[in-house]
Structure 1
Amino acid sequence: MSLPDTISAPLARALATKGYETLTPVQSAIIEPETAGRDLLVSAQTGSGKTVAFGMAIAATLLGEAESFTSVGAPLALVIAPTRELALQVERELQWLYAEAGAKMATCVGGMDARTERRALDRGAHIVVGTPGRLRDHITRGALDMSALRAVVLDEADEMLDLGFREDLEFILDAAPEERRTLLFSATVPKPIAQLAKTFQRDALRVAATSGGEQHADIDYKLMLVPSNERENAIINTLLYFEAVNTIVFASTREGVKHLSARLHNRGFDVVTLSGELSQAERTNALQSMRDGRARICVATDVAARGIDLPNLDLVIHADLPTNPDTLLHRSGRTGRAGRKGTCVIISPMHRRNVAQRILRTAKLDVTNMAPPTAAEIDARYREGILTATALTLPVAEEEAEFVAQLMERHSVEAIAAAYLRQQLAARPAPEDVTENPQPGKPGDSDPRTRERFEGGTWFKVNVGRKQRAEPRWLLPMLCKAGDVTKTAIGSIRIFDTESIFEVAAQKADAFSRSLAKNGSGERGVTITAVDGPGERRAGPPPSQRRPPGPIERYDPNAPRPERADRQARYGSAGLKPDDFEAPATGAWNPSADADKPRAPKRDFDKPRPPKVSKAPPSKDKGKPKWAGKPDGAAKPPKKDHKAKRKPQI
């Protein structure tokens, strides 16, 4: 199929050389006759070929009827992208697209040497591609001449507004000539984008390349629900199961990227990272490693979610759930680009399955559920791959025949096959153990930040309380260490004057007791014992499984300390018994029992108080001045002159 005649001749030749036979919907819509010479507001999903589309759209504006550029001077076109990676990728795409036309390119992106960029601008360029902050800096310094601009393209405009570049964009567009074409590309057109178009475009033509129900038709979406403690194992097994040529794994934070990349590297994967804390050179090297085949997996934050186009990127894994549907679509759009098929796996902990399903519904995606690949499934794929390896079907070369004959003489066919099998399996990372077909409610699928339910828990006591300044924040680690349990096994902690009681989950109580009997509390002078006395039993539930009366208490580190009241009298410090949880506490005041006791007489406040009598003997010198009784001629000592001793002020 031939390309449309509306495409500029040099660009059509470049497309044919690149192997283009058909155009994507956005590329076809952008070269329609009614779009010629007009400002355009284009909405198209990521991976739909927008770079080639706006390259074709501005060709007639830049070249006119000419086949190539004749002279180099001030830039004729300016392309603005939100991130460094996207700007560099756009520059690479436009390089081959305008190669036949002889276009000179220049890039202005943050993180690169600004002096080198200024020298390139001084030499002249036909098309400049850059990020908003760096472009504004060059305009302010007078390095970027905007007087000859004929077209300005804003790529991923919604992302630029989300990143806070609105002021920079307005500054750049104000500096551009009024008689220019402005092409605005955005995945969505929210109200801020519409306002930006209304302000800086003239009678813009709205172009919608795809409908909302056709998003990412070339991507197979899979939702994988896993127990929260098996998330990383599921990621490893997913990588091994699909065996994609290139994969991007998205994490939410930089620390998550570091941790996950270290785990994958230790398992034998070739991994690079991509996050905002890396320099531009490091990010460029990471992407180049993926393109060269030196690395197959890139662990990245959302900085890589827009504009990154890697060859043979077949798999995208969401290790952390995206925060909104737009982020999900932009992350997933790294695969399934330009007609290629791709797979996107969303890994969600069980306790966040409702969040994942809500995001997918809002994004209007057709998703199938997938259980995490098991070790048996991965081993089966390994063996099938070994059996169908291309190397086994190739004929024996002449230079190999002699050595093959020597192998056959010295070793049996079974020994050679076994050695080959062991070698192939050793070269592949071993799969992880995961729960087969995990279901909600299974152990390990609850939120790790929540505590277990303590139905039927066992109560213990420790001989430290408020008088020993006991607090849950140092009691809890001591109890966990003494009982060899995690903090989720410890329930309510109630602190009294000289002791504290705490609850242990029923399924952990026996192991807690065994650990205490073997190791003790681990602290000098601190003893931990069960609340129940040995051999005591009652009708109904065992005393060890009874709660103290009152509402269930949970430790809240931000809550104020409870009042002391008379809990010491209720629970006692040394004789805490099971009966204390059932009967009234001894020592508490009972009005009916104390009614006959004599009380102290009330004081009559109308009667005057008797004068106080001092027990000390009166002083003989009372009323006399301190200097009285001195020798004759002695006088009252003069007052000290404090001003005379003052240091002069400087």
Structure 2
Amino acid sequence: MPFPATHPALDRALADRGYAEPTPVQEAVLEGDHSGADLLVSAQTGSGKTVAFGLAAAPTLLGEAERFGKADKPLALVIAPTRELALQVATELTWLYAGTDAKLGTCVGGMDARKEARALGWGTHIVIGTPGRLKDHIDRGNLDLSQLKLVVLDEADEMLDMGFREDLEFILDQSPAERRTLLFSATIARDIALMAKRYQRDAVRIDTTNKSQPHGDIEYRAMRIAPNQIEHAVVNVLRFFEAPGALVFCSTRESVKHLQAALRERGFQSVGLSGELSQRERTDALQALRDGQARVCVATDVAARGLDLPDLGLVIHAELPVNRATLLHRSGRTGRAGKKGVSVLLVPNPKRRRAEMLLSSAGVEASWDAAPGADAIRAQDEARLIAGSIFDESVTDEDFALAKRLMAERTPEEIACAFIRLQRAKMPAPEELTDPGERPARRERGDADTAWPTERLQPHEVVWFRADVGRNSAPRPADPKWLIPVICRLGGVTKRQIGSIRTFAHETRFEIARDAVDAFQSTLAAARKPEITVSPSEAPDGAYEARPKRPFVKKPYAPRAESEAVGGEDARPAWKAKKPAFRPDTGAAPAEDRKPWKAKGSPKTNGKLRGNAPFKGGAPKPRAEGAPAPARSKPPFRKGPKPQKRAG
């Protein structure tokens, strides 16, 4: 359906931009009589929310007028969580309101605050900013919200997650109570609902999300990789898909710097984006990606929300996201405005279960496969070369004349080989990867068929290797607690593929499953700065003496034989029988075998032994005449240093 008429100037702007029909969220906002009502809208990322609230704001800001009047105090305020999203919203509203003489201003962190203050002093119609900078301008008296007619909260759930609740409440409390409030969020959580109830009046609830499918235009693919081959896997995925624009997500700033430098070294036109960069550096990076000067952007989750990058056909999760919301928002950077996109999760084998739980909680169906190897990439390159669009371009007379000259001087085979070499020189070389293989089926309680195998690897199923660390090695002796993870990381194997480990004084020998030896050795050869040195070895002496090892079986309790019991069949066993007491003719145990406090002649005094009887107070008893004084066992305690003898 075509766009419904909203405002003549906005209709012309949409037609100039090539907007033929509205997206579901735009259609839901424009249909019905919502021109003066508050809106609480939840929509999928990349669904055109910016244009939606720009169109919804026109009746409130312009009414029947064709253009805005003289700019003074702002009439509309748009609040976004990040600088990039705020600047992107400002760009979208600039072309949408270009025919209305609207004057827009931005207030975002990282920009010149004095320049923003001067622009606010000259007058604006619409202000777009981030919560922290907007609050700062209000505190300084640069931003007056007394004439505000409309407030838009874009990505409200993200602003609450980032800790902007107090700033948002301060800004909303400063605005007029009769304003119109539009709240847009990917999800309507409890905090969002409470904020809407407090700051909106009879809001119209609009939900355009599809609960059964998070995003129909995004294809999710999970790829198995070895733990130490993440960097090589990113290179191969970029080469396999050859998307015009790609976004690679990492968890930390250090990972972004390392991966971006590695991709640039391999020949990719890449930029980095993280929170430690200045605003100018972040803007330049995004502009390079939009202009086509860079093909890959390596970023932290600062780029996971709100960014609209054209021709972004691929998102790579080099490190798994922390939760389902981050997964969906990262992936939502592609597949926007009806375009198709691919979201690839690189999953090391030890994190397979976590990735499965993450996809399940997000309601996403992903196809599992190994990361593309060098052979698959070469086959893909050949298919692209044969069906390339370069053969469909028009040929000029000058090109045709040069082609005839080449055909006269060179054979067709020579010309074709030279063309192939030129095409391959433009593309980075693929990396060799090892497939860690599928993990065994998950164990279910009581299901013996799907349980983990309890038998150890047999001698014909393993190959021995040697590590140059032992129990006497310095500075760190060999310990299976850290040695097994190191072997798994360096060799790309799992704990199930490691057999026996024998630790000696200066070396350690261990077994690797025979079917994983080739991949283990190739992964070891590609490892950079390994913690240990591993080489093939022979089995140590006596390695197979104790085999086969029986699995542990808990035996039921069996009572001891009658011959081992004391006092008959029903009596307790001999090892639990009481020790018989020694009783002489008197029938009592000797005094020396009794406890001292139970011996005869040692009665208790006030609950304690006689020697520890409490002091009852009173004057000391008088000593009989002529009786000697009691001898002291040791001199009385003196505080301080020992007195010195006086000389002379």
SS in structure 2 of the partner of residue 229 of structure 1: coil
SS in structure 2 of the partner of residue 100 of structure 1: helix
Contact 2:501-2:511 within 8 A present in 1 as well: no
Cα 1:363–1:179 shift into 2, 3 Å: same
Q: Which AA in structure 1 matches 2:29?
A: I
Match of 1:294 in 2: 293
Distance in 1, matches of 2:209 and 2:338, equals: 14
Q: CA deviation at 1:365?
A: 1.9
Distance in 2, matches of 1:79 and 1:21, equals: 26
Contact 2:469-2:508 within 8 A present in 1 as well: no
Q: Which AA in structure 1 matches 2:289?
A: M
Match of 1:279 in 2: 278
Contact 1:81-1:87 within 8 A present in 2 as well: yes
Which of 473, 476, 486 is the equivalent residue of 1:474? 476
Match of 1:2 in 2: 2
Q: CA deviation at 1:235?
A: 1.8
Q: CA deviation at 1:455?
A: 9.3
Match of 1:185 in 2: 184
Q: CA deviation at 1:399?
A: 2.6
Residues 549-603 of structure 1: CA distance to partner in whole angstroms, max 9, x if unpaired? xxxxxxxxxxxxxxxxxxxxxxxxxxxxxxxxxxxxxxxxxxxxxxxxxxxxxxx
Residues 363-414 of structure 1: CA distance to partner in whole angstroms, max 9, x if unpaired? 1123222332222221122122222333334454223344434433332222
Match of 2:620 in 1: none
Contact 1:455-1:506 within 8 A present in 2 as well: no
Distance in 2, matches of 1:373 and 1:54, equals: 42
2:106 equivalent to 1:107: yes
2:27 equivalent to 1:31: no
Match of 1:84 in 2: 83
Distance in 2, matches of 1:107 and 1:626, equals: 90
Q: CA deviation at 1:73?
A: 0.5
Distance in 1, matches of 2:242 and 2:264, equals: 16
Cα 1:421–1:153 shift into 2, 3 Å: same
Contact 1:490-1:502 within 8 A present in 2 as well: no
Cα 1:408–1:75 shift into 2, 3 Å: same
Q: Which AA in structure 2 matches 1:4?
A: P
Match of 1:425 in 2: 424
Residues 474-516 of structure 1: CA distance to partner in whole angstroms, max 9, x if unpaired? 3349xx99xx99899999899xxxx9687532459xxxxxxxx
Match of 2:332 in 1: 333
Distance in 2, matches of 1:464 and 1:365, equals: 46
Match of 1:58 in 2: 57
Cα 1:381–1:136 shift into 2, 3 Å: same
Q: CA deviation at 1:437?
A: 8.3
Distance in 1, matches of 2:645 and 2:438, equals: 96
Distance in 1, matches of 2:45 and 2:236, equals: 28
Contact 1:490-1:504 within 8 A present in 2 as well: no
Cα 1:110–1:493 shift into 2, 3 Å: farther
Q: CA deviation at 1:232?
A: 2.5
Contact 2:224-2:437 within 8 A present in 1 as well: yes
Q: Which AA in structure 2 matches 1:183?
A: L
Residues 227-280 of structure 1: CA distance to partner in whole angstroms, max 9, x if unpaired? 223332222111111111111111111111112112211111110111111111
Contact 1:246-1:315 within 8 A present in 2 as well: yes
Cα 1:148–1:262 shift into 2, 3 Å: same
2:14 equivalent to 1:15: yes
Q: CA deviation at 1:358?
A: 1.3
Match of 2:71 in 1: 72
Cα 1:123–1:267 shift into 2, 3 Å: same
Which of 500, 504, 509 is the equivalent residue of 1:504? 509
Match of 1:231 in 2: 230
Q: Which AA in structure 2 matches 1:108?
A: C
Q: Which AA in structure 1 matches 2:430?
A: P
Distance in 2, matches of 1:303 and 1:74, equals: 32
Q: CA deviation at 1:338?
A: 1.3
SS in structure 1 of the partner of residue 230 of structure 2: helix
Q: CA deviation at 1:205?
A: 1.6
Q: CA deviation at 1:439?
A: 2.2
Cα 1:158–1:412 shift into 2, 3 Å: same
Matches within 5 A, 1:98-137: 98-137=97-136
Cα 1:625–1:323 shift into 2, 3 Å: closer
Q: Unpaired runs of 5+ in structure 1? A: 443-452, 509-529, 548-623, 628-635, 637-650
Cα 1:464–1:246 shift into 2, 3 Å: closer
SS in structure 1 of the partner of residue 181 of structure 2: strand
Match of 1:399 in 2: 398
Contact 1:454-1:505 within 8 A present in 2 as well: no
SS in structure 2 of the partner of residue 119 of structure 1: helix
Contact 1:490-1:503 within 8 A present in 2 as well: no
Q: CA deviation at 1:420?
A: 1.2
Q: CA deviation at 1:322?
A: 1.0
Match of 1:413 in 2: 412
Q: Which AA in structure 2 matches 1:375?
A: A
Cα 1:172–1:493 shift into 2, 3 Å: farther
Q: Which AA in structure 2 matches 1:301?
A: T
Match of 2:258 in 1: 259
Distance in 2, matches of 1:172 and 1:197, equals: 14
Q: Which moved more, 1:110-119 or 1:221-230?
A: 221-230
Q: Unpaired runs of 5+ in structure 2? A: 442-455, 514-537, 550-643
Cα 1:625–1:438 shift into 2, 3 Å: closer
Q: CA deviation at 1:454?
A: 10
Residues 344-363 of structure 1: CA distance to partner in whole angstroms, max 9, x if unpaired? 11221122122111111111
Distance in 2, matches of 1:395 and 1:14, equals: 33
Distance in 2, matches of 1:360 and 1:80, equals: 31
Residues 401-459 of structure 1: CA distance to partner in whole angstroms, max 9, x if unpaired? 444344333322221211111111122111111235832269xxxxxxxxxx9999999
- RMSD of aligned C-alpha atoms? 3.7
SS in structure 2 of the partner of residue 33 of structure 1: coil
Contact 1:491-1:502 within 8 A present in 2 as well: no
Cα 1:625–1:321 shift into 2, 3 Å: closer
- The aligned length equals 506
2:162 equivalent to 1:163: yes
Q: Which AA in structure 2 matches 1:246?
A: G
Residues 55-101 of structure 1: CA distance to partner in whole angstroms, max 9, x if unpaired? 11111110111111021100000000000000000000101111111
Q: CA deviation at 1:33?
A: 2.7
Distance in 2, matches of 1:501 and 1:299, equals: 43
Distance in 1, matches of 2:161 and 2:392, equals: 54
Distance in 1, matches of 2:421 and 2:465, equals: 54
SS in structure 2 of the partner of residue 474 of structure 1: coil
Q: Which AA in structure 2 matches 1:98?
A: Y
